[in-house]
Amino acid sequence: MSPKQQIKGDGEAATERRKREPVAQDLDNPTQQLAPPVAVNQRARLAPSSLTSREVSQLQRTIGNREVGILLAGTVQRLEAGELQMQSEFVVQREDDDPLDESQVRKAIGFYANRSTQYTEEIIRQIQAGVGVPETGTVDEAMVQAVARYQQANSPLWVDGMAGPRTLPALFPSGLAEQEEIETYAEEAEDILEGDWASMSEEERADDLIARVNDRLAAANVPQVGRLIEDLGGDAGQFDFEEWSISLDQGILQSEALSDAEAADVADTVYHEARHAEQWYRMAQMRAGQGRTADQIAHEMSIPPRIANEAFGDPLAPGSMEALIADGWYQSVYGTGSAHRERVLGPTGTYEEYRALPEESDAWRVGGDVTEAYNRLGEEGA
């Protein structure tokens, strides 16, 4: 059983997301957390073989045995074995503009190596082009550092050099994630929310908001969504993939006058839920590209047969970036990540875990871009 609805939280949650800082994924790397004595450390780096056992003892007194043990890792064992050679990699310091240290670089390179059937030479070239390093088709330190710099500049992505299911859709925006689509929807939503809103019924408000987002879905070749008005008990909107419809909160639709912040949040929410519709359709197209029949897709994803049929007729090319991105969402919802996802969406899941789910990380980023575009319109009009 997988939760069928994609929920976006209320205004309180929207505030919380802005306060949240990126989460470092690699907490097991000591060189980031320690500040060893500079002189010995620097000399060790410049002339590693010159580090004596006495200097190791000095390090131990200064920063504590346990930390030295972590810092020097295998080196201490080798010293104990009577070998004074030291590999510089254990004490190498980070360059100012390199986000990853040696161990993180190795881990990131390993990430791609372990997934070489998906991260083909062609995919690697595209990632290299995306982060602005030479397109060699071979993963190297320059590439993973550049991916990490991209992640650093695009909070709250984890800064780990691994272009996985959260980073790829940000790096290669398509469909509703394209800036032009975002700006178009923000403008059209503003016309509704700050135009005739007061003179419209709640049904008209819902119809117009969903009609405009359906225009954007049509432009992205995604089937239209239906719309429902419900009491969502504090949630602003939901995409229901079994019904292929977006529910909007009755309380919000009944509001006679929305503040600028509330209006931006409505636009953000509708777009966030529509992005989920696009994600689910891309997953279905990706499965079609892998040879699944329409019946199989409808059954395994619990989506309406007519949606599965459309996806079957327009499959994503296996090996394409689009298919890799869709697979990231698919694994999260239906594949290797599904047990984790079910727990996160249940009573023991945390808000941070929910926001880190690949499909939510993506929808929150795209929805957030609508809020930004919406707020710019207000500034321009003022």
* Contact residues: Zn ion, CB under 5 A: 6, 8, 360, 363
CB of 287 to Zn ion, least distance (A): 21
Backbone torsion region of residue 248, taken as left when φ is above 0, otherwise alpha when ψ lies between -120 and 50, otherwise beta: beta
Least distance in Å: CB of 290 to Zn ion? 25
C-alpha span between 305 and 254 (Å, rounded): 34
Given the DSSP bridges, would you call strands 226-230 and 245-249 parallel, antiparallel or unpaired? parallel
Q: How far is the CB of 181 from Zn ion (least distance, A)?
A: 18
Q: Which is nearer to Zn ion, 59 or 270 (CB)?
A: 270
Name the one residue in this structure whose structure tokens are 């994503």: 316
- Contact in structure between 176 and 186 (CB atoms under 8 Å): no
Q: How far apart are CA 177 and CA 219, in angstroms?
A: 12
Nearer to Zn ion, 68 or 366 (CB): 366
Q: DSSP character for 196?
A: I
Which DSSP symbol is given to 316?
Answer: P
Which CB, 309 or 338, lies closer to Zn ion? 338
Q: How far is the CB of 313 from Zn ion (least distance, A)?
A: 27
Closer by beta carbon to Zn ion, 69 or else 368:
368
Nearest distance in Å: CB 353, Zn ion:
13
Sign of CA dihedral 38, 44, 46, 50: positive
Shortest Cβ distance from residue 330 to Zn ion (Å)? 16
**Using omega within 30 degrees of 0 as the cis cutoff, is the peptide bond preceding 169 cis?**
no
Name the DSSP letter for residue 378.
Answer: H
CA distances from 358 to 65, 181, 293, 298, 377 (A): 40, 21, 25, 22, 29
Whose Cβ is closer to Zn ion: residue 147's or residue 356's?
356
Residues making up the chain, counted from first to last: 382
Q: Which is nearer to Zn ion, 148 or 220 (CB)?
A: 220
Q: How far is the CB of 331 from Zn ion (least distance, A)?
A: 17
Nearer to Zn ion, 102 or 362 (CB): 362
